[in-house]
Amino acid sequence: MQQEMEKVAEVADPVDRAKAAIDLMARYQSHVNELSRIRREAIEEAQATGMTQAEIAKRLGVSRGRVGQLASAGPPPERAFFGTDLVTVSLGGKYEAGKAPDEFPSEVITREDLGNFEHLRKLLGGMKLDAQYEVIPPSGMVNLNRENHVVICGPRLSPLIAQILEGDDNLGFAKDSAWHLLDKTSGKEYRSPQDEDGSAGDVGYLGRLPRLDGKGTFLYVAGIHSIGANGVIHFLENNLAELYREVRTRRFSTLISCRYDPKTLEVLESRRVTPLYRHEG
C-alpha cells in the first residue's frame, strides 16, 4: 500500500497525479466495503452461536456499544452473493427484427432484460456495488471466466450456455412442442402458463454455475420466456438474505415461478417451486 501511494505521489503531471489518486482511492474503497461486509457477517455469525454482545466486545477489545454499531455498519452479508466489486450483467442479444444478417442489423436486447438490469442495479447499489451491462452477440459467445458476473440469457440464444446447463444433474431446459423447464430429480415438468392457457405467468431458472476455466462461478438467470427472468430478479429482490444464508457462494440451482401484470409486465409475485439443489464441487 505504501509503495502504491508513493508511486502516485511521484506522478509528474498534477492532473494525472490527481486521477491516479482517485483511481487508487476507489480501489481501496472497494476493499474497505468488502472488509466491512466480512466484519458484519462475522459478528452476526458469532451472535448466532449464542455469544452476547458483551462477550464479543471483550474478545474484540471494544465497548459493547461499539459492537452494536459494527453489527449494522457496512454492506449486508448477502452482498457476497453477487461479488466484491463492479458487477457485469451480460444480457442475451438478438438481431433487430426485420433485418437479415447481411444488412448489418443492430444487436438489441428485450425490454424485459433491460428492466432486469435496472432492478439489479438498484439492488446492488443498496449493497454498495456498482453494475454495468453488456450485450451478448447473437452468436451466443460470452466470456464466462471473470469475477462478479451475472448472465441473463436463455440457452436457445447461446449454445455455450446450453452446454454448461447440461452439467446440471437436477434442473434444465427441454423442448417438445414448447420450451419448458424440467426437474430431472423428480421428473416434474414446469411449463409456462403463457403456453398452457395464455395467463400472465412464467417460470425461470436461477443458479450459480461453473466457469469454463474451473476457477470460479457465475450467476445465471433465464426464463422460459423473457418475463421469467424478471420473476427470478423479483425473487432475489425479496429473498436474497434468506437465499444467501442457505447457499452462500456455493454452486446451486432452483426454479422460480412468477405472476405478472399483462399490461405493464410488472412482476406481482414470485416463489421458489423446487428445492435448492446444491451442486457438488
pLDDT for 74 equals 87
Q: Measuring CA to CA, which residue among 153, 192, 187, 190 is closest to residue 170?
A: 187
pLDDT for 240 equals 98
Q: Measuring CA to CA, which residue among 164, 135, 122, 123 is closest to residue 253?
A: 164
pLDDT for 67 equals 93
**pLDDT higher for 95 or 109?**
109
Residue the block writes with cell 423479483: 234
Sign of torsion, CA 270 276 280 281? positive
pLDDT at 100 over 60: no
pLDDT for 94 equals 75
Q: Which amino acid is at 17?
A: R
pLDDT in tens, 213-262: 999 999 999 999 999 999 999 999 999 999 999 999 999 999 999 999 99
pTM for the complete prediction? 0.89
Stated as kind and residue range, the H or E segment containing 66 is: helix 64-70
pLDDT for 88 equals 98
> For residues 152, 246, 277 and 150, what is the CA-based torsion angle, rounded to 10 degrees?
10
Looking at the DSSP assignment, which residues form a beta bridge with residue 131? Answer: 87
pLDDT in tens, 11-64: 999 999 999 999 999 889 988 999 999 999 999 999 999 999 999 999 999 999
What are the phi and psi torsion angles at 85 (to 5°)? -150, -165
What confidence category does residue 113 fall into, taking pLDDT thresholds of 50, 70 and 90? very high
pLDDT at 104 over 70: no
- Percent of the chain exceeding pLDDT 70 equals 95
Nearest-angstrom CA–CA distance, 131 and 193 = 32
pLDDT at 281 over 90: no
pLDDT at 187 over 80: yes
pLDDT in tens, 65-97: 999 999 888 899 999 999 999 999 999 987 666
Nearest-angstrom CA–CA distance, 184 and 206 = 15
Mean pLDDT of the chain: 93
- What burial letters (b/e) apply to 228-242, b meaning 16+ CB within 10 Å? bbbbbbbbbeebbee
Instruction: Mention every residue, 6+ apart, whose C-beta is less than 8 A from residue 49.
Output: none
pLDDT at 3 over 80: yes
pLDDT for 111 equals 87
Answer whether 220's CB lies under 8 Å from 89's CB: no
